[in-house]
Amino acid sequence: MRTRTVAVFLSCWLVLCASAHRAQSFVPPAEQILSLYCQTLAKVSRLSATEEICGRKPEQPAAAKGSAPGSGDAPCPRPATAQVFLRFPGDYREQAGRSYTVVSTPLATVKAGGGVVLAAKPDVTDRYRSLLTYRDPVGLAQALSSDGVDLSVCTLGRFRKRICYVIGAAYPDLSRPQVWLDKETLQPARYVIAPAASTDGPPRLECLYDSWKTLASAKGAQTLFPGKMTLVREGETVWVRTVKAVKADPELAPRLFDVDAVAEETRKDAGTLGADETELKEVRDLVEGFDQMFR
């Protein structure tokens, strides 16, 4: 009798374990998750935003040891303001006064400032924009694959007390490029761009997305945009972008995304950077210097 009781108990325990394993192991494929994410963005073809950029210099205090990535940093003494324009799929322009301009399309990229073309190709630090500039499943999947994210791997993980889909790595492995999307809202929470050098170390470079905003176009279509983005290098904040205003489907002139036109305008503006734009130049130097570290 006792043997039979033990056998029944073991059988029930095995069934429960198997059921729990199946529940934990079932995760939709990455392509399906990205498709669902894109559905939450609605049919908006253009966006414009005003962003306040705070870049932390190396001598500024960093977050305290043991604090969450991107938290606890010193206040920004002189934030810069940038105008950002997006035309889907893949076109991006950022304008910070006359001191810094970025135009990126699927075919070409230019970064210019102070009368000088700083770069003519995308860099690893630009990859945080992939989740913003592509809003169709195919284009987004291609962009993430080009960034090095393995779409054949998708697991569940926990980040800031939230359960997330982890695309690109088996949680908790941070040694591979990966995108984290909140399981309930499908909003991106984290993009590990340059993975950790070791399995137990922090990512070399990641972007955190917070405070997603819901906005509507003039035609009533609703979409989403992050209210805050934080670039973090090995646990320390590099810059924080806080969105002050955002508009869906504004009128945008095609020339805004003309890479050749930006290069020509830069040559015309050579040597005309004003002293009142010193703070913008400092932000440009900080971002460009960080680009160099990952080339």
pLDDT in tens, 14-61: 443 433 344 445 899 999 999 999 998 877 899 999 999 998 654 444
Digit-coded pLDDT (tens) for 90-129: 999 999 877 789 999 999 999 987 778 877 788 888 999 9
Q: Is the pLDDT of residue 267 over 50?
A: yes
Q: What is the pLDDT of residue 169?
A: 96
- The pLDDT confidence band at residue 226, using thresholds 50, 70 and 90, is very high
Q: Tell me the three state secondary structure of residue 53.
A: strand
pLDDT at residue number 235: 92
> Cβ(129)–Cβ(92) under 8 Å?
yes
46-55 and 205-216 as β-strands: parallel, antiparallel, unpaired?
Answer: unpaired
* Model pLDDT for residues 189-222, shown as the tens digit of each residue: 999 999 998 777 889 999 999 999 988 887 777 8
pLDDT at site 282: 56
HSE, CB side, 13 Å, CA atoms: give it for residue 260: 1
CA angle 88, 94, 100 (to 5 degrees): 155
Q: Decide: residue 213, CB within 10 A, 0-12 exposed, 13-18 middle, 19+ buried.
A: middle
What lies within 8 Å, CB to CB, of 227 at 6+ separation is: 210, 211, 212, 213, 242, 243
- Residue 135, number of CB atoms within 10 A of its CB: 24
- What contacts 281, CB < 8 A, 6 or more positions away? 99, 100, 113, 114, 273
The mean per-residue pLDDT over the stretch 141-148 comes to 96
Calculate helix-pair angle for 30-39, 137-146, nearest 10 degrees: 130
Contact assessment for residue 55 and residue 238, using Cβ atoms and an 8 Å cutoff = yes
Token pair recorded at residue 210: 């917070």
Write down the mean pLDDT value for the chain. 81
Which DSSP string do the residues of 180-243 spell out, in sequence order?
A: EEETTT--EEEEEEE--SSTTSPPSEEEEEEEEEEEE-TT--EEEEEEEEEEEETTEEEEEEEE
